[in-house]
Amino acid sequence: MSIEREPLVTHMFTADPSAHVFDGKIYIYPSHDIPHNGEDNDNGDEYQMRDYHVLSMESLDSECVDNGLALSEKDVPWVSEQMWAPDAAYKNGKYYLYFPARDKEGNFRLGVAESDSPVGPFTPDDNYIPGSYSIDPAVMVEGDEAYIYYGGLWGGQLEKWQTGEFVPDAVGPSGDEPALGPMFAVLSEDMKSFKSTPQMLRILDENGEPIKAGDEERRYFEAPWLHKYNGKYYLSYSTGTTHYIVYATSDSPVGPFTYGGRIMEPVIGWTTHHSIVEIGGKWYLFYHDCEMSGGINHRRTVKFTELKYNEDGSIVTIQPYDHK
């Protein structure tokens, strides 16, 4: 029986899956939703994640294993709360876990932890990555270089950092101004700091003009992910308020990227967050929804489905529940 589009684990709530293949085995790095009875709000206070468990699968047809606690907020000196969506990377013979969390002042920062094993336990650095802020780190290793992409609006605080300093009451651009995009930087050789000054990725429309902030069906909100297919770089992300996963393409990992279309229509639940990985010569989208919890936004479960390309490299839009 296929487990495609079914929850990978049901004994806990998981979200924001970053999937990778290391040494022929599938590893998924999700966030861990903690059930509670608090209210939802635009600041994301309902997402009270406190630790990370790494999931693994021998193949897409095999059982998904929870490998236990990999990292907890109690292990990280600078963290106060809310360890949100992570990612992982392999370089220098080590596995690195990248994660966002609020520091002692309540500002989101990016942390890094290291392990000899893809499932941890991970040993965190004592402080966050210098110069980092916001949420949703995603790392792409290509040759000798490693690129990190990050940033999310509203609860993710990206719009608060437009001046380079945290401005608590800052708002995003107006509707006809260029939308904010994800930030990116080249990581240092030890994978624990920025080698380059972080910059904002440019996402353009079909006419080469920046996507506008008011274009909520196409503009960036959170959850960046980079993958490469047939020589092209694909930046995928969540549009947030309109709940789409969309993509843009470029000839370079640092852009600019041109909007390409939708990857997935809205799922049950407010957030949508994903990863894209090649497994056995096919491509797959890992994502989450709130179907198992009956639509409770902070009780999500991770799923996967095959992702298909057209001959021109465009991605076939997925209807998440057309198999029901």
Tell me whether residue 316 is in a domain.
no
Tell me whether residue 274 is in a domain.
yes
Task: Tell me how far apart the alpha carbons of residues 260 and 313 are, in angstroms, rounded to a whole number.
Answer: 10
Lowest-confidence pick of 42-46, 143-147, 265-269, 272-276 = 42-46
**Quick one: 176 exposed, middle or buried, by C-beta within 10 A (0-12, 13-18, 19+)?**
exposed
Task: Tell me how far apart the alpha carbons of residues 171 and 174 are, in angstroms, rounded to a whole number.
Answer: 9
Q: Note down the domain range covering 204.
A: 13-307
CATH of the domain at 40: 2.115.10.20
Q: What average pLDDT does range 219-243 have in this prediction?
A: 97
Lowest-confidence pick of 34-48, 191-205, 208-222 = 34-48
- Residue 2's pLDDT band (cuts 50, 70, 90): low
Question: How far, CA to CA in Å, does 175 sit from each of 142, 156, 251, 259?
Answer: 36, 19, 28, 18
Q: How many domains does the chain have?
A: 1
Tell me whether residue 47 is in a domain.
yes
Tell me whether residue 128 is in a domain.
yes
Instruction: Output phi, psi for 281, to 5 deg.
Output: 85, 0
| Listed residue (239, 263, 107) closest to 182, CA to CA | 239
pLDDT surpasses 90 at 42: no
pLDDT surpasses 60 at 1: no
> Helix or strand or coil: residue 297?
coil
Mean pLDDT of the residues in the chain:
96
Tell me whether residue 8 is in a domain.
no
- Indicate the helix (H) or strand (E) that contains 110: strand 108-115
Catalytic residue numbers, as ranges:
16, 222
Percentage of the chain lying above the pLDDT 90 cut: 94
Tell me whether residue 259 is in a domain.
yes
Q: What average pLDDT does range 95-107 have in this prediction?
A: 98
Q: What is the pLDDT of residue 324?
A: 60
Tell me whether residue 79 is in a domain.
yes
Task: Tell me how far apart the alpha carbons of residues 82 and 52 are, in angstroms, rounded to a whole number.
Answer: 11
- Six token digits for residue 234: 């694909």
Tell me whether residue 289 is in a domain.
yes
Q: Is-cis flag, bond preceding 35, omega within 30? A: no
Q: What average pLDDT does range 154-172 have in this prediction?
A: 96
Residue 111 Rama label (left phi>0; alpha psi -120 to 50; beta):
beta
